[in-house]
Amino acid sequence: MSTKQKYLMKLREKCKNDYNLNPEVLPILIEKLPNVELEQKRFTYSEFLSFEKQFMKKIIRDIGFIPVLIVISDSEGCIIEMYGDESIKHQVHLLGIKTGVQFNEEYAGINAISMALKLGEPVQLLGKEHYHTCLQQTACISIPFQFAETITGTISLMTTMEHVQSSHLHVLFSAVNIAKSYSQSEQLYKLYYKEIYQYLYRMTRNEELAKDLCQETFIKVLNAIQSVDEDKSVKAWIYRIAHNTFVSWYRKKKRIDFINIDTQKFEFKQKSYKQPERYMEESELYEELAKSISRLKEDYQVVLILREFQGLSYQEIADVLGWKLSKVKTNIHRARAQLRNFLVG
């Protein structure tokens, strides 16, 4: 017997003997969140709700004629948002289901929202698995979520037994994942946009092009965020996407110089080799340094920019370029040596 089945068996007994619920009588849902408190709760969940709003509307639109209600609850089972066409909203309203009410076992009996919160896993209740007769023609699916560490609750879908589909569970998982993805990518955007833009600007010396490539980079970050290896440097992972985005553009634009360094806009983060330090003291000599870097072969230019301008570690550069660590160290050593020869020669 599964965990769900054991839980349902015990809960059915509780509904009858402890909660004194009559299966033939509509459950009475308690309004836990009056209007002011509901708006406060929505404000707390506003970031999550904003990510979900357009996605939910698209789901409802794509589903078409199938009667579906999607609700979002907080960590206590209180409904804070509902999505669905007006006809389905009207029908469930007659059952007492509306924003602000709380789904708990004492008053609502067997319900997917409470079970998902208590079990900490997706729950699907079909037909007669419900305690109340009025719900035994419905299918309810609920999955718990955690968003931005402190925001928890459930996303649930309700439809008729006639229209329930196996894909509905996947829809809810997608809803949770898309919010997580947007949140994570937004945080990464705030953390790394400036330096990724600077890197791409140094590679292209074109502000608008750098912005376009940067935007393309973070779209790719959003689309791939679920596959990121948390054991590796996220920074290096983003740089690698940015670098590959640049390379893809460059291959289409071979007549454009590989790298041009703006000598006025940016400064070195590191000054690790002795001879160039003297040149960087004067702006005209700093310009000479930049021109000397542009004379290096492509691989040398890239590793120097990643190391000296962007401040990446050797390991991060290896991750960005897909090179062995030894190759990174060798190329940086040779690039510095060649650059020194250009400067002192």
pLDDT given for residue 324 in this prediction: 93
For the chain, the domains span: 3-165, 183-256, 260-345
- pTM comes to 0.62
- Residues contacting residue 340 through CB under 8 Å, at least 6 positions apart: 273, 275, 276
Residue 333: CB atoms within 10 A of its CB come to 12
Phi-psi region of 93 (alpha: psi -120 to 50; beta: other; left: phi over 0): alpha
- Which CATH number does the domain 3-165 belong to among 3.40.50.300, 3.40.190.10, 3.30.450.40, 3.40.228.10? 3.30.450.40
Q: What is the mean predicted confidence (pLDDT) over 62-85?
A: 88
Strands 30-31 and 101-102: antiparallel
Q: Which of 204, 69, 181 is nearest to 135 (CA)?
A: 69
Fold of 260-345: Arc Repressor Mutant, subunit A (1.10.10)
- Tokens 């609700």 map to which residue? 71
- Residues contacting residue 255 through CB under 8 Å, at least 6 positions apart: none
Q: pLDDT digit string (tens) for 8-26?
A: 999 999 999 999 999 999 9
CB 116, CB 123: distance < 8 Å: yes
Residue type, 330: T
Share of the chain above pLDDT 70, in %: 89
CB 198, CB 308: distance < 8 Å: no
DSSP class of 80? E
Q: pLDDT digit string (tens) for 188-236?
A: 888 999 999 999 998 888 899 999 999 999 989 888 887 777 667 889 9
- Which CATH number does the domain 183-256 belong to among 3.40.50.1220, 2.60.260.20, 1.10.1740.10, 3.90.25.10? 1.10.1740.10
